[in-house]
Structure 1
Amino acid sequence: MHKESDQGTKQSSQATLFSMRLTRRKLLVTAAAAMLTGCAQGVAPQPAATPTPPFALGRAGTIYLDGTVPPALGSAVVQSISNVAGIPNVTAVPSLNPSPDLILTFGELPPGYTGASIGTSPVTAITHVRVPVDSITAGQTRALLSGTITDWSTVGAPYSLPIHLLALQGLVLPNGVPLAGNVQTVTTADAILRAVRTQAGSLALVPVELADWSVRNLGIDGIYPAQGRGDVTQASFAPLILRIGAANKLVARGLDVSLLTASLGPALATTIPTFDMAVAGDIILGRGVNNKMLEYNDYLYPFRKMRDELMSADWRVANLECTITDLVAPPLDPYTFTFITARRAVDGLTYAGIQTLSVANNHADNGGVEPFVDMLHTLHEHNITTCGGGNNLTEAREPAIQTVKGSRVALLGYNEIPPGGPYADVNSPGIAPVDLKTLPQDIAAARKRADLVIPFFHWGVEYTKDPTTTQQQAAHLAIDAGADMVLGSHPHWVQAIESYKGRLIIYCLGNFVFDQDWSRQTLEGCMLHLYWRGTTLASIRFVPYLIEDRCQPNIVSQAAAVDIFERMWSGTDMLTSGQYGPEPEP
């Protein structure tokens, strides 16, 4: 009974179901509902995923700057790691024991670290500053480094000078750069820089960030990375790679090394503009020079053979030791010490690209106050800024400020030689005297307005190669007060240079446009290129010349310039040993 009753019920239900008339739409809706019901019964709901928290070190990190890293670059990297990639800040540690959190190197990372490239640094050849070679080829570079060439005379030096090879331990050089077996290996970047400075004939390959003015940046195939000359992307040797490594235990916790590299790239030198400041010595456009310009009816004549060299720089500076005016006629006396020329002579200065002139010297106001003020107006009308002279003492002590590739540079001018005209006073025009009491104040005031401050002194004793104690006292005081370097003029000979607290002092570059043709020394001089990378003096370059036809400087070869540099370096050595001028030339 029961069984039959169940069966009957089932059949009745099926009959009812199949007897229903369903539209296509109803059938689809019913099927979908059944499917969803089945899914809901077979799949359990999943909880939402918990996001991984960003890496946070939770303390100050440690970083080891290995010996391949120039100290200034290392310091910039340390300062740049501030709340980057979960690291609040870092402190440099002196060794790998205990293991630091981070390592910075131009070499290979040790085991236990995950690394990434921050960027590249052009391979830079540096030599002792007195090596008389400006540029070599890539082939010559390989021959020098391999020991095939052992004397600088083989690659153009005008005299024999043995090559002393140095290498920075741990630095990974580009492929194809051999090193001789007798190379002296040095353990740190600082140490190799000191070794190149002190060992005659030295040569090393280093990151560009290490080079500074105290060594020569030797060009390779015409590319000078420390000077910003040439296209480093076309360099003959592949660049060096700066790497940062993070301890694997931190990477396992989530430290993303790539976040570090993105913030540290701006510390590399290639991201900072380099500008070239060209400095020339004494310019007179009166007396014999004026006569030559009149003879040729050419006020550009004195500068024609130096114009290209001057125009290659970003900023061009000189000492103007005459009066340019039409208010007073130029004296006819060929022996006069009143140096005056016509207003038209300003055309030569603009043709040469001169942008800033110091007028703090003993001849700029020889023609009197009114012609001196007239000259200042003329120069300013031709977009030539001046320093060292003005309508009163306050103006005379004001710097000329030039913005070059984003850097503001202040040039101050001072004279210590008794002038032919007046010194400026509170209410009267003239030139600025050297005043050791107010000099620090002037430098401090200029520092508030500029990134670089450079005083330009007219000082010393004529026709000597050795600076006096008075010159050195003023130069050292200026640097102690914050000057970035010091320039000088007046002795009419190339004089010594000096490093004081790591900053450059140029005591005299000699005559530039002058008519003193009675001696070789007064006809010789050097134009100076100063290559500034931000506020770092990354390189310098002397361009020797000989004045011809009583007024026209012409660039000469290293062989022809041996006497010029012998005078400079012997004076430098005497100054270093505590010997001061004046001294008669042997």
Structure 2
Amino acid sequence: MTIRMLFFVAMLLTIIGCQQQEITVESNPEQIDAEFVRQEAPGPVEEERTETTITIGAVGDVLLHERVYVPAETEGGYDFMPMLQEVESLLAAPDFLMANQESMPGGVEIGLSTYPSFNSPQEIVSNLQTLGVDMVIGANNHTLDRGVKAVESALDFYDEIGMDYVGVYRDTPDREKDRIVAVDDITLGVLAYTYGTNGIPIPEGHEDIVALIDRERMQQDVERLREKVDIVIVHMHWGDEYAREPNAEQRELAQHLSEAGTDIIFGHHPHVLQPIDHLQQENGQETYVFYSLGNFFSGQNFEYTDIGGVGTIEVTKTIKGDEQVVEIHTPHIEPTLVMLENDVYRMMPMADSGGSLINGSTTEQMREHVQMYVNE
């Protein structure tokens, strides 16, 4: 074989070898693709997680004695704003705020009145609304002081200004209407009850004008709401007047409501602050109890009756995929004080005062008092 032929054969073998190498590479695309996938494929997609926290608040008894509302009179009616403006920041802070309107605001048309049979100016409600109150509680021992006419006049006014109410009702259909409020995608159901009406009988034909404490009916109400909302709130008008700690009946009723599914209980009637408690049932149900929020705005001058508070508690709702968790936490009462100066009653944060003029209590002492069960 000539040199020229040998060169040609060598070149031909080289070309064939290169073609075979290219064919080998192209014939195994899975190897390259698999490596590419290992480098570029995304990991598992995390489920979206959202978390929402709101603050629920309540204040105690708004009980307007004559000595409170007379100085508020103006040429055009009544104005309580100068008396309340110093607590505006406290009332504006919660995302949803309730107030126990203990003296029925039937208005001047049926005649204002004071202890023992109260009827108050309606402006107290619109003033509280301006300051941040979203719902008034109407179940208390003074609900029927001036009869059905005062109740209906108050409810007409609530409707007129768009103020939600609970515990006092026009009729049975009104009572059977669920009080459900949505705050930032967290739903709240609210109920309210009173131990009695100062011996005044419930008028015939108005059997549901005010919700009385009835264990069976309360349980039914709570269980019905429990299925519809994230948080069940119950206001209770209960306890012994001027007692600084709850009695056995308050504790028993709190357990009953907790077992039924209540998350938060706000108490009224003692006119003084009582501690916060935390109840936990075997089924995991947790309940925070504010046994008494004291007097918020009144003219009572007994020991500790000049001290009330803005009770607050936080609710956090976490949603991840199909799972939903609702947690209740951070219960607190910020003490407030009613001061009498130049025959005018005015509200202020207790922290901004020198303490109670009636008994010398300080803000720190009151904070310790309301937290003593939780701290234990």
Coarse TM-score class (shorter-chain normalised): 0.7 to 0.9
Show the counterpart of 2:296: 512
Show the counterpart of 1:330: 112
1:381 to 140, 160, 164: 160
Q: Partners of 2:297 and 2:111 in 1: how far apart?
A: 20
Letter of the 2:44 counterpart: L
Show the counterpart of 1:521: 304
Show the counterpart of 2:27: 46
Q: Give the direction of change, closer, same or farther, for the CA distance of 1:432–1:42 in structure 2 (3 Å limit).
A: closer
How far does residue 567 in structure 1 lie from its aligned partner after superposition? Answer: 4.3
Q: Give the direction of change, closer, same or farther, for the CA distance of 1:411–1:42 in structure 2 (3 Å limit).
A: closer
How far does residue 566 in structure 1 lie from its aligned partner after superposition? Answer: 5.0
1:428-439 mapped onto 2 (5 Å cutoff): 428=207, 430-439=209-218
Which of 391-400 and 431-440 deviates more?
391-400
Q: Partners of 1:406 and 1:422 in 2: how far apart?
A: 41
Show the counterpart of 1:290: 69
Contact kept in structure 2, 1:288 and 1:515, CA below 8 Å = yes
Show the counterpart of 2:101: 320
Contact kept in structure 1, 2:155 and 2:170, CA below 8 Å = no
Q: Partners of 1:42 and 1:283 in 2: how far apart?
A: 93
Of the two, which has the highest radius of gyration?
A: 1
Q: Partners of 1:511 and 1:463 in 2: how far apart?
A: 10
Show the counterpart of 1:556: 350
Classify the secondary structure of the residue corresponding to 1:495.
strand
Q: C-alpha root-mean-square deviation of aligned residues, in Å? A: 3.3
1:364 aligns to 2:143 (yes or no): yes
2:126 to 316, 323, 347: 347
1:338-390 deviation digits (Å, cap 9, x = unpaired) = 22123333321222221111100011331210220221121122121111111
1:406 aligns to 2:185 (yes or no): yes
Q: Give the direction of change, closer, same or farther, for the CA distance of 1:425–1:408 in structure 2 (3 Å limit).
A: farther
Contact kept in structure 2, 1:488 and 1:509, CA below 8 Å = yes
1:522-541 mapped onto 2 (5 Å cutoff): 522-534=305-317, 535-541=326-332
How far does residue 436 in structure 1 lie from its aligned partner after superposition? Answer: 0.4
Q: Give the direction of change, closer, same or farther, for the CA distance of 1:325–1:536 in structure 2 (3 Å limit).
A: same
How far does residue 568 in structure 1 lie from its aligned partner after superposition? Answer: 3.4
Show the counterpart of 1:98: none
Q: Partners of 2:202 and 2:172 in 1: how far apart?
A: 8
How far does residue 420 in structure 1 lie from its aligned partner after superposition? Answer: 6.3
Classify the secondary structure of the residue corresponding to 1:364.
coil
Classify the secondary structure of the residue corresponding to 1:276.
strand
Q: Partners of 1:527 and 1:380 in 2: how far apart?
A: 25
1:454-495 deviation digits (Å, cap 9, x = unpaired) = 110000110101212111111111110111121110000111
Q: Partners of 1:469 and 1:504 in 2: how far apart?
A: 17
Which of 495-504 and 522-531 deviates more?
495-504
Classify the secondary structure of the residue corresponding to 1:391.
coil
How far does residue 548 in structure 1 lie from its aligned partner after superposition? Answer: 1.1
Show the counterpart of 1:307: 88
Q: Give the direction of change, closer, same or farther, for the CA distance of 1:554–1:38 in structure 2 (3 Å limit).
A: same
Contact kept in structure 1, 2:119 and 2:150, CA below 8 Å = no
Contact kept in structure 2, 1:424 and 1:432, CA below 8 Å = no
Letter of the 1:541 counterpart: H
Q: Partners of 1:484 and 1:490 in 2: how far apart?
A: 20
Q: Partners of 2:129 and 2:144 in 1: how far apart?
A: 21
Letter of the 2:265 counterpart: V
Contact kept in structure 1, 2:234 and 2:264, CA below 8 Å = yes
1:120-139 mapped onto 2 (5 Å cutoff): none
How far does residue 544 in structure 1 lie from its aligned partner after superposition? Answer: 1.1
2:175 to 388, 393, 396: 396
Contact kept in structure 2, 1:322 and 1:365, CA below 8 Å = no
How far does residue 329 in structure 1 lie from its aligned partner after superposition? Answer: 0.7
Letter of the 2:53 counterpart: T
Contact kept in structure 2, 1:397 and 1:413, CA below 8 Å = no
Classify the secondary structure of the residue corresponding to 1:395.
helix
Show the counterpart of 1:546: 337
How far does residue 38 in structure 1 lie from its aligned partner after superposition? Answer: 11
Contact kept in structure 2, 1:530 and 1:539, CA below 8 Å = yes
1:382-415 deviation digits (Å, cap 9, x = unpaired) = 1211111112245336542211111010110000
Higher RCO by CA contacts (8 Å cutoff, separation 6 or greater): 2
Show the counterpart of 1:121: none
Q: Partners of 2:203 and 2:245 in 1: how far apart?
A: 29
1:130-149 mapped onto 2 (5 Å cutoff): none
Show the counterpart of 2:7: none
Contact kept in structure 2, 1:388 and 1:398, CA below 8 Å = no
Q: Partners of 1:480 and 1:419 in 2: how far apart?
A: 29
Letter of the 1:438 counterpart: R
**Identical counterparts, % of pairs:** 22
Q: Partners of 2:154 and 2:313 in 1: how far apart?
A: 28
The structure that is strand-richer by fraction is 2
Classify the secondary structure of the residue corresponding to 1:466.
coil
Show the counterpart of 1:199: none
Q: Partners of 1:259 and 1:388 in 2: how far apart?
A: 51
1:453 aligns to 2:232 (yes or no): yes
Q: Partners of 1:494 and 1:338 in 2: how far apart?
A: 24
TM-score by length of 2: 0.78
Classify the secondary structure of the residue corresponding to 2:44.
helix
Contact kept in structure 2, 1:287 and 1:340, CA below 8 Å = no
Q: Give the direction of change, closer, same or farther, for the CA distance of 1:464–1:41 in structure 2 (3 Å limit).
A: closer
2:44 to 216, 240, 259: 259
1:503 aligns to 2:287 (yes or no): yes
Contact kept in structure 2, 1:360 and 1:389, CA below 8 Å = yes
Classify the secondary structure of the residue corresponding to 1:302.
helix
TM-score by length of 1: 0.51
Classify the secondary structure of the residue corresponding to 2:141.
coil
- What is the total number of aligned residue pairs between the two structures? 330
Q: Partners of 2:34 and 2:204 in 1: how far apart?
A: 73
Which of 337-346 and 356-365 deviates more?
337-346
Q: Partners of 1:478 and 1:424 in 2: how far apart?
A: 27
Q: Partners of 1:477 and 1:295 in 2: how far apart?
A: 47
Letter of the 2:124 counterpart: A
Contact kept in structure 2, 1:301 and 1:348, CA below 8 Å = no
